[in-house]
Amino acid sequence: SEDAIKADLQEMNEEIDRVLERYTRLSVSRRPYWEVQEVLDQLSNLPPTHFDTDDARAEFARRVDSQEPYWQEGPSSNLVLRGLINERAHVPDILLSGVIGPREANELFELFMNYWNHGLGLLDPAIHSPRTLLQRCPLLFTIVLTIASRDYPARPNLYSRLLEQARLSASAALVDGLKDADTVQALLLVAAYPPPVQRFTDDRTSLFVGMALRMATDLNLHRAYRKAPSSRTEALELANHVRTWRACLLLDSWSAVKHGRFPTLRPSSGAPQATDARGIQSEFEYRIFKEVNQFMQFAKSSNGSLGYMELTVGFNNAIQALRDEISHILRRFEDRDQPSGMLRKAVLTQTIEYARMVVYSFGFTRSLQQGNPWGGDYTLMCLEAASASVIGLLERLAPLPLFRCSPDAWFEYAAFSAAFLLKLLRPQFQSVIRGSQRVRIADLVKRLVDTYRSPAIALQIENHLPRVLADFLERAAAHHPEYMAARPPALDRRARHTPSPPGHGVPGGGFNMSPGESLATAICGSIPEWWEYLDRELPGQL
Any long-range contacts for 495-499 (C-beta under 8 Å, 24+ apart)? 496/391, 496/394, 496/440, 496/443, 496/444, 496/447, 497/440, 498/384, 498/387, 498/388, 498/391, 498/440, 499/383, 499/387, 499/421, 499/433, 499/437, 499/438, 499/440, 499/441, 499/444
Specify whether the CB–CB gap between 351 and 322 falls below 8 A: no
Give how far Cα 28 sits from Cα of 32, 60, 137, 139, 214, Å.
Answer: 11, 16, 15, 16, 28
Peptide bond into 75 cis (omega under 30): no
Question: How many alpha carbons fall within 13 Å on the CB side of residue 53?
Answer: 12
Specify whether the CB–CB gap between 387 and 447 falls below 8 A: no
pLDDT of 530 above 70: no
Give mean pLDDT, residues 297-309: 74
Q: What is the reported pLDDT for 182?
A: 94
At 541, the pLDDT band (50, 70, 90 cuts) reads very low
Give the C-alpha separation, 28 to 18, whole Å: 9
Q: What angle do CA 231, 232, 233 make, to 5 degrees?
A: 90
Task: Report the chain's terminal Cα–Cα distance, integer Å.
Answer: 76
Lowest mean pLDDT among 188-202, 312-326, 392-406: 188-202
SS3 of 390, please? helix
Residue closest to 183 by CA, chosen among 241, 253, 109, 112: 241
Give mean pLDDT, residues 49-55: 48
Instruction: Give, to the nearest 10 degrees, the angle between helix 33-40 and helix 79-89.
Output: 120
Cα dihedral 235→191→130→148 (10° resolution) = -140
Q: What is the reported pLDDT for 450?
A: 95
Burial class (CB in 10 A: 0-12, 13-18, 19+), 290: buried
Give the C-alpha separation, 72 to 96, whole Å: 32
Q: What is the reported pLDDT for 19?
A: 59
Q: What is the reported pLDDT for 515?
A: 25
Q: What is the reported pLDDT for 274?
A: 83
| Helix ranges restricted to H, 25-78 | 33-40, 53-63
Lowest mean pLDDT among 90-104, 473-487, 518-532: 518-532
SS3 of 411, please? helix
Q: What is the reported pLDDT for 204?
A: 83
pLDDT of 54 above 60: no
Give the C-alpha separation, 83 to 80, whole Å: 5
Give the C-alpha separation, 450 to 472, whole Å: 12
Question: How many alpha carbons fall within 13 Å on the CB side of residue 10?
Answer: 10
Q: Of the segments 166-175, 300-309, 416-425, 498-507, which one has the largest average pLDDT value?
A: 416-425
Give the C-alpha separation, 507 to 429, whole Å: 9
Give the C-alpha separation, 298 to 293, whole Å: 9
- Better pLDDT: 488 or 397: 397
Give the C-alpha separation, 213 to 180, whole Å: 12
Give how far Cα 397 sits from Cα of 361, 410, 464, Å.
Answer: 23, 10, 18
In 10 A of CB 114, how many CB atoms?
A: 12
pLDDT of 471 above 60: yes
Give mean pLDDT, residues 385-403: 95
Backbone dihedral region of 525: left (phi > 0), alpha (psi from -120 to 50 degrees) or beta? left
Q: Of the segments 297-306, 485-494, 514-523, which one has the largest average pLDDT value?
A: 297-306
Tens of pLDDT, residue by residue over 332-368, are 888 888 888 899 999 999 999 999 999 998 888 888 7
Give mean pLDDT, residues 1-30: 56
pLDDT of 463 above 80: yes
In 10 A of CB 356, how many CB atoms?
A: 25
Specify whether the CB–CB gap between 65 and 59 falls below 8 A: no
Q: Annotate 265-315 with three-state secondary structure.
A: CCCCCCCCCCCCHHHHHHHHHHHHHHHHHHHHHHHHHCCCCCCHHHHHHHH
At 27, the pLDDT band (50, 70, 90 cuts) reads low
> Which residues are CB-contacts of 410 (< 8 A; sequence separation ≥ 6)?
119, 347, 350, 397, 403
Q: What angle do CA 170, 171, 173 make, to 5 degrees?
A: 65
pLDDT of 264 above 60: yes
Give mean pLDDT, residues 83-112: 88
Average pLDDT, the chain: 79
- Better pLDDT: 59 or 240: 240
Q: What is the reported pLDDT for 524?
A: 41
Q: What is the reported pLDDT for 323?
A: 96
> Which residues are CB-contacts of 353 (< 8 A; sequence separation ≥ 6)?
385, 388, 389, 392, 413, 417
Please list the helix, strand and coil fractions of the chain in percent, rounded to the nearest 5, in that order. Answer: 65, 0, 35
Q: What is the reported pLDDT for 89?
A: 76
Tens of pLDDT, residue by residue over 110-143, are 999 999 999 999 999 999 999 999 999 999 999 9
Give the C-alpha separation, 143 to 164, whole Å: 11
Residue closest to 507 by CA, chosen among 420, 422, 426: 426
Give mean pLDDT, residues 470-496: 69
Q: What is the reported pLDDT for 516?
A: 27
Tens of pLDDT, residue by residue over 354-363, are 999 999 988 8
Q: What is the reported pLDDT for 493?
A: 35
Q: What is the reported pLDDT for 334?
A: 80
Q: What is the reported pLDDT for 426?
A: 78
| Greatest CA separation for the chain | 92
Q: What percent of the chain has pLDDT over 70?
A: 74
Give the C-alpha separation, 240 to 188, whole Å: 14
Q: What is the reported pLDDT for 318?
A: 95
pLDDT of 90 above 60: yes
- Better pLDDT: 384 or 431: 384
Residue closest to 176 by CA, chosen among 95, 89, 245: 89
- Better pLDDT: 227 or 155: 155
pLDDT of 514 above 80: no
Q: Enter the pTM of the model.
A: 0.83
Q: What is the reported pLDDT for 438?
A: 86
Q: What is the reported pLDDT for 377?
A: 80
